[in-house]
Chains A and B, each alone.
Chain A
Amino acid sequence: MSQALLRLFEDHHEALFRFAYRMTGSAAEAEDIVQECFLGLLKPNSAYDVRRTPPRTYLFGAVRNQALKRIARRERTTELQDDISDFGDTRSPEAEAQRTELDAAVQRAIAELPEAHREVLLLAHYEQMPLAEIAEALQIEIGAVKSRLQRARAALKEALAPYARKVERRR
């Protein structure tokens, strides 16, 4: 059992950490989430059933659920979300000029997507997960995955259009 769990951990913890980080915007929270998910496998009442769900699919679903819980808790009880949501109104032009523009712009544009669109985009683009597997991990229809992905990408094209033009001008 330990070897199988260790293999699971070695194979997937980096991708799960990336996904959790991009969901929450916090490396510390991402670390906690991935840790909780793997330790959850040790619990006697773990929901994981290898006969029903491939391990990668189960783990991404578990990380997603934990991330959503933390985001909800953060919105209720802490100021962190305030810092994020206020960002658009609080940057000075000088501060903005100093930023690594593109990285921040992409992060911000994705953060502003609806949650349901964001998680699909993160799994499809950054983790290269097949649409059918996304559907299983998120427990939605594959048609919903496709439409959410299309909407997410359309919104990002609009939000990031100024940056595409900048990149184009530099070329």
Chain B
Amino acid sequence: MNDSELDDLLDAWKAPPVPASLRDAVRPKLMASAPTPRRSYRRWLLAAAVAMGALSVGASLVQDAHLGGETGYWGNGVYVSRMRIVHPGLARLKWGFRGGLSTGMQWKNGSLVGSVYLYSPITHTHYGYSWNARPVDAKRFLLSIEPLDPSVLKEDGAINPLPHPPPPTIVAAGSKLDVDLASSDGQRVYDHIEFSDKPAALLPATALPNFSIVLTHPQLFVNGQSEGDSAGVAQATGQTVRVDVPGRGEFVLTLDPHGDSRFAPDGVVDGTRIRFHFGDSEFVIECSDPVAAKDGLPVYVYFRPDASIQRVRFSSGGPVKAGQEQ
């Protein structure tokens, strides 16, 4: 191989476009450093600008950060939203791209049931819980947060006990609940769950961290044919989202694979759609709202075959454990 051929190969690796949020975050702070005509105030104003910048940056580090979530309808006039939150915000670097799963929800023995968890491929530990919501009357449910059901796990490993498991609680429109998944070393990862009598306010893509995907009322089309909708999940958000496709397997989608080369840039954000190709098939996830803060972003796709999947399911979730591929 000569130098020119190597240069051609190297040019195949394209960097993503600069996110608009970078300009939005930096330009105002640089402009705030403008001097004033009165020299005596310059130092004070510069110090104030620096302090404001530092406060802003500092606040972004200590404030909570959203990792994703889901919204949906339980029935009996009760809508639910679950947002996964990490504190402090800087800890999203540690927790934001872990593996994980949300099973969505399904009726079983007269109750709505589901499971959610995060998974650390370093410690081989699951952080999560299963839940059971049994209707009490026309407008209320008895919600039980239970140890994570091992049968839903996709990976080998231990289950971290819930740090502060809440007792069974009657919930109705207006109820709120926090469930801690992990709590140690000054970091806390928890699900904030809210119930309402109206469809939960859906988050616009711009309200979430950069490179989040927001699937609102998603429907899946494969080669132009409808495969199904979200079965009660009105919105699934996160830095990664998962789409289960019957007879095929699980597709994990992200806008930023964090250097994980198992993800391939096979798709694109197209307004309210995500389009991606796999094999000979074209997949389109059609949503009611924009799926990302910016149009045209590449979508990275990771596929794990699983022929046992029987229905379309959209959920928030990360990549699977390394080594689980078939």
Interface residue A47 (Cβ < 8 Å from any Cβ of B): no
Contacts of B279 in A (CB 8 A): 98
Across the interface, do B259 and A28 meet the contact criterion of CB distance under 8 Å? no
Across the interface, do A83 and B9 meet the contact criterion of CB distance under 8 Å? no
Proximity bits, A68-91, B CB within 8 Å = 1, else 0: 000000100111101110110111
Question: What are 22 contact pairs spanning A and B, CB under 8 A?
Answer: A9-B26, A13-B26, A25-B259, A27-B210, A31-B210, A38-B30, A39-B53, A44-B50, A79-B122, A89-B322, A90-B325, A94-B325, A102-B9, A104-B261, A106-B12, A106-B13, A107-B259, A110-B13, A157-B1, A164-B1, A164-B6, A164-B9
From B15, B93, B264, give the contact of A98 (CB < 8 A): B264
Kindly report which residue of chain B lies nearest to residue A160, judged by CB atoms: B9
Interface residue B16 (Cβ < 8 Å from any Cβ of A): yes
Proximity bits, A33-49, B CB within 8 Å = 1, else 0: 01110110011100000
Interface residue B97 (Cβ < 8 Å from any Cβ of A): yes
From A42, A106, A167, give the contact of B30 (CB < 8 A): A42
Which range contains the number of A residues in contact with the other chain?
Answer: 35 or more
Distance of A104 Cα from B262 Cα, bound (Å): 9
Which range contains the number of B residues in contact with the other chain?
Answer: 35 or more
Distance of A90 Cα from B264 Cα, bound (Å): 14
Interface residue A66 (Cβ < 8 Å from any Cβ of B): no
Across the interface, do B326 and A92 meet the contact criterion of CB distance under 8 Å? yes
Contacts of B3 in A (CB 8 A): 153
Chain B interface residues (CB < 8 Å from chain A): 1, 3, 5-10, 12-16, 18-19, 21-23, 25-27, 29-35, 46-47, 49-50, 53-54, 57, 93-94, 97-98, 120-122, 209-211, 255-262, 264-266, 278-279, 302-303, 305, 319, 322-323, 325-326
Binds B, one of A14-22, A54-62, A133-141: A14-22
Distance of A80 Cα from B99 Cα, bound (Å): 11
Contacts of A163 in B (CB 8 A): 9
Distance of A126 Cα from B12 Cα, bound (Å): 11
Distance of A160 Cα from B305 Cα, bound (Å): 29
Across the interface, do B47 and A5 meet the contact criterion of CB distance under 8 Å? no
B14, B121, B262, B279: residue with the most chain A Cβ atoms closer than 10 Å: B262
From B8, B22, B57, give the contact of A34 (CB < 8 A): B22
In the assembled complex, the CB of B36 is this many whole angstroms from the nearest CB of chain A, namely 11
Contacts of B93 in A (CB 8 A): 29, 74, 78
Whether A28 contacts B53 in the complex (CB less than 8 A), given A90-B322, A90-B323, comes out as no
Across the interface, do A28 and B258 meet the contact criterion of CB distance under 8 Å? yes
Across the interface, do B15 and A28 meet the contact criterion of CB distance under 8 Å? no
Across the interface, do B259 and A102 meet the contact criterion of CB distance under 8 Å? no
Contacts of A36 in B (CB 8 A): 57
Distance of A17 Cα from B257 Cα, bound (Å): 16
Contacts of A42 in B (CB 8 A): 29-30, 33, 46, 49-50, 53
Across the interface, do B26 and A39 meet the contact criterion of CB distance under 8 Å? yes
In the assembled complex, the CB of A61 is this many whole angstroms from the nearest CB of chain B, namely 18
Across the interface, do B15 and A21 meet the contact criterion of CB distance under 8 Å? yes
Across the interface, do B325 and A95 meet the contact criterion of CB distance under 8 Å? yes
- In addition to A27-B256, A42-B53, A111-B259, 7 A-B residue pairs with Cβ atoms within 8 Å of each other are A5-B30, A17-B18, A27-B255, A77-B94, A102-B12, A125-B10, A160-B1
